[in-house]
Chains A and B, each alone.
Chain A
Amino acid sequence: MSKLAIELKKLLLVVLALWTFVPWGSCAYAQATSNSKEQATKAPDGKQRTVSGTVRDEQGEELVGVPVSVGNGHAVAVTNDKGRYTLKVPTSACQLKFTYVGMKAEQISLPSGTKDLTRDIVMKDNNTLHDVVVTGIFSKARESYTGAVSTISKEELKLHKGQNLLQTLKTIDASLNFQVNNLAGSNPNNLPQINIRGNSSLPMSVAEFNSATSTSVNTPLIILDGFEMSLEKLMDYNDEEIESINILKDAAATAIYGSRGSNGVIVVTTRQPEAGKLRIQAEVGVDIEAPDLTSYDYLNAKEKLELENALGLYSADYIPNDFNFQEHYNTKLSRVLSGATTDWLAKPVRTGVGSHYNVRLEGGSNEFRWAASMNYKNTEGAMKNSHRNSFNGSIQLVYTLKNIKFKNYTTFGLVRSQESNYGSYSQYVAQQPYDIPYDENGQLVQKFEPFLGPSQGDLGRANPLYDAELNTINKSGHETLTNNFSIEWKIIPDLTLRGQFGISRLTNDSDYFLPAEHSTFTTGSQYQDDEGFLRRGLYRYGTGNGYSYDGNVNLAYSHVFADKHQLYVGADYNIAANDNLSYSFTAEGISDSDNPFLGNARQYYKNGTPSGTKGKTRRIGFTGNVNYTYDSRYYVDLSYRVDGSSTFGAEKKWAPFWSTGIGWNVHNEKFFKANPILSILRLKASIGEVGSQMGSGSGANTIYNSITNSKYMTWVGSQLTAWGNPRLTWQTTFSSNFGLEFGMLKGRLKGEFNYYTKKTSNLLSSMDLPSSMGWNSYIANIGEVRNRGWELSLTGYPIRDLKHDFTWMMTGQLVYNKNWISKLSDAVKAQTEAYREQDVEVANLFYEGMPQNAIYAVKSLGIDPSTGKELYLDRDGNVTDTWRAGDKVFCGQADPKYRGNFSNVLRYKGWTLNFTFSYYWGGYTYNSTLRDKVEVSINALKSQNVDRRALTDRWMNPGDVTFFKGYEEDQTRATSRFVMKDNVLELSSLSLQYRWDSKFVRNNLRMQSVTFGLNCNDLVHWGSVKQERGTSYPYSRNILGSVRLLF
């Protein structure tokens, strides 16, 4: 026993030592072994023999131009136009490797001997149907998997490469639903909202919903090599490190994640190091962000002035005023006629030119493999000075000792992001085109003169460029260090035990600085007196850190009994914990604007207090999975998970989740085998229940909080913060899925269809209490949301001419989803009713039976041609010209019903062309451009520029039949007139790649291949709604050029 312990201790030490020696030690080791391999290729005795054969695909067609390599060296032969290869190999045992674009690499072992050999090869398609499904906990054969899952390969990632990994995923898979964020546009620092198969969580209260803080409740769980990671980390992840991404959609797939699985799971698998001679892969690229301002159509200085004058803004009843105003108009007019006009749209934007660099080194022997990679990416946003820089470095080690495999993966990530100091784009759009930001001397003016000329008390409007030119700072950053370690032990060939442990540390900080010259201080009344003057200049600093660990033990057994009964049993035990804390504080009185340093501040913010958060969560899960397949025809799948979490009530700490599914491989039936058309036909169905840990908060326990900011005599106290609800339980989602997969015409056409339903019950919401309980509500499980829909994907090869190495692949996806609230808490209902009764205007309303994202507006009957006023239909069915919030009716759902994409990949020899269209339709949008930029009130014209339609399409005179009302004082309120069908078609991705691997490259440049790539994203947008896109930050067209070198 003690001897064993010593041995194990040594082993551990060695593993640790090895890890610290990387990359140099292992690099040398790899070099050494691969050199010896190379010698082996030439054979010590110099004797050789011939190997030949034909390479075909699964449909039996010969594959042309497949490189064949010996061992792990360079390709030494290529298949000819009949798919045949011939090459000489040494007489000792060796391996042949066949690689081909779009196909899985094949490897065969040749025994030692002197006889010539014939080996025919069948290569399998890389992307679908035959793969293994990686669920992050268990790996399962797709042939017997009942879950709905879509797989994205690294090739697809390269073809669709976008601004960041999330943008890339958006163009590839339509089942990932990205919420359109018209406000944030193409801001590289914006984290998008994603959901899979519709929203399944409700915000806690109507107020919370309206404040749009509920961004994260529907975000899917993201798993990287078995460990949870954040959406932001995925966004910044180095896509070159990814082998594949599996998106688990239904309960059968996500039940193994129990409480965290209800929003779907994105499982990312990193590339494993390949054994062999040192391979170096390098990439250099340019990333261009070109602003797309085509949705903006604004009046120029002359037109704007014309509109203002036509509406009588420069006239008055009182003659002396009238005279003054007209004079002011004439001054403006003469200035405009002499050419004074400003293109404000262009002021804060630029064509951002960023870059990215990637290096990956890998090698080693079969026993010991390693990879090291580094990636730097600098995205320069379309607004000036906005950028996001990320660095990722990783070291991966794999050591195989007989039947034990050790893996260690260390990554370090660093992100620095900065928001544009130009602020919101919308304030530039609003500027008057006749205002000139610079004076005669080329100096920035601080203020523009008031609309009707200088007058007492009106100092005019601030020039946004003035603040923008100051040294303001708005940046943040974070660093993550993660280490994941795993041991996999094949106890017997059928039984594998795996242990994993991951540890991660995150630190972050943020800086916000407003220099003393900023308009906040020059105009703010509290900064004008002596004391206020010294308070000018503000610095807000925030910092925090997080620490988490995650470990699991996993046992998997699979065995085939009597050739027909295939059994798989898996068990997993998982624990995880997370600690985090953050602080922030503000200081003021920094007079030296060129030196924005916190230490230069005069004092803390007046009456300000430091703020901070501290959190701690823990979770335990037990998972089991059984899969039984009979004769490769019928299979049944069972998953069960028990989850415990610190965020739930004392009485409900543990919750069970489950799923079950059945499947039938029709194509393996005897009667079907003879079928000449269909080669694959699989039917599957599953049901299950999963949960969501999101938004649970601390509602379960009656919590006391220490009061730190007050005292009673010399004592400090603790107070109750809220009543706990010990019965609070997990929000659970019951879902079902019916799927069909098929392949036909020798694999020329493949497809998958899934129909699903999803019911989320126990939704968390507030429950009212009488005031005599002291607190007005507590958190309870109330309400239910349902989603129903289907997903269809088809892949076909119109041309698959392997002889000429020419293929054309078309892939299309169509997704339909219907979402509605099926049950609501009485509290929410009562609140909604109260709002309606009291005509309180709320941005979003909830009703049972209606979609979660719905548009409510007052029914409009159009513009009365005689008065130019809008007519409405009130709740009693009367025509009225008064708008009341209580008259709002349902006008359509805000989410599109159908979404999809359609992509074409053309390959000819080394060339690959891809173009992808994305589309969605069936939803509605409230066109706020019309409200804010066209149907503005007459007073608003005095302070902002407007859309062209404000000049051309508005009611002016009695008898005008127009879509837009006449000019008046009142703002247009929510009206059905502005609710429009939102149908969109986008050319979301266009890419061209050329892979250059001629003899010249191999011999003269000493490289295996050079790949040139050009990726363009968001090129063209056709929409049924004419509205401004990207109001706070413009949309941009993203163009990436890159060169990838493989040594």
Chain B
Amino acid sequence: MQRLRKSRGLTLKQVEAQAKVSNAYISQIERGLRKPPHPDILKRLAKTYDVPHRELLVVAGYLEEDSETIATRRKIEEAFEHVKTDPKFKQGTRLKGTHVSLETKRFIVEMYEKLTQRNLLKEGA
């Protein structure tokens, strides 16, 4: 949670103002001193951090990712690692913040596939 907040360039006070959740409480959640917050609070935090509500529910343990989602995530992560280490493929981005979402990784892998005529996501890296 802390990494997510910092990647958005937000301070605890800013999150408090936007999500209407006390900054002391957020700090305690980030340090693992509190149980996962109520799904309603997670919904407000998801809007503030601009991530899908479902993603935070999974992290908090309210929902379980199905095996297909886990497999897709792993496939994209592996393919992205392959793309980053291919010396023939040069790439760069202009990002808002420092967080690289799974969606962005998928986009980069798809661009790699387009240029190299390979199909990493189907055939595996």
A binds B: no
